[in-house]
A and B are shown apart, each in its own frame.
Chain A
């Protein structure tokens, strides 16, 4: 089955700086790569996603890039703000959702220092 590795496990950045979280996946058939943000006491919330026919996608301060050849994708957050502090998860799945649903990375705890 699919295996998703996520790094780093903890990332501390100064408010206003950029943050980058990286993930690699193992199944070359995977074609959908979402990112979720989880705040304390809440369920994960979808913040951005990308499909394998696209190399980059942006939504205001958030962007995701995908390198199919290297089988890795990254989340970029610019001009970080205190409300960006949370745990971020990357995930991957094959067409139709796959037999194992979404396979998630272990998460990155993003800390925004004031």
Chain B
């Protein structure tokens, strides 16, 4: 069965711009979580969506937002990009809400802000 698909794989943006990342979860999975991965901070939780509703949100500024569609696909948006937003953004799908049922991660979107 198909895994978690994230697009695009790589992005280069300029400071001040905005960006939208996409994630298609495993078929049948209704929970999608987003994580930011950087060498300094490691893996940090951004938010989780379940049945089109944001269930939880991590400690990130309001510039980071997301949404989930009726087919469980999810997008995350970062507005007014800063250099510090350069990171690997990972999407994880799960059959149930919460990470305690095991995540399946996508390969991530590598965002570089210049």
Contact = CB atoms under 8 A, between A and B. Distances in A.
Nearest to B108: A43
Contact of B56 (A43, A95, A99, A106): A99
B81 to A, nearest CB: 22
Between B4, B33, B105, B107, the greatest number of chain A beta carbons within 10 A of the residue's beta carbon is seen for B105
A91 B4 contact: no
A34 B104 CA distance: 12
B86 interface: no
Contacts of B45: 100-103
Contacts of A54: none
Interface in A51-87: none
B107 A43 contact: yes
Interface of B: 4, 33, 35, 42-45, 48, 56, 58, 90, 92, 97-108
Interface of A: 31-32, 34, 36, 41-46, 49, 89, 91, 93, 95-107
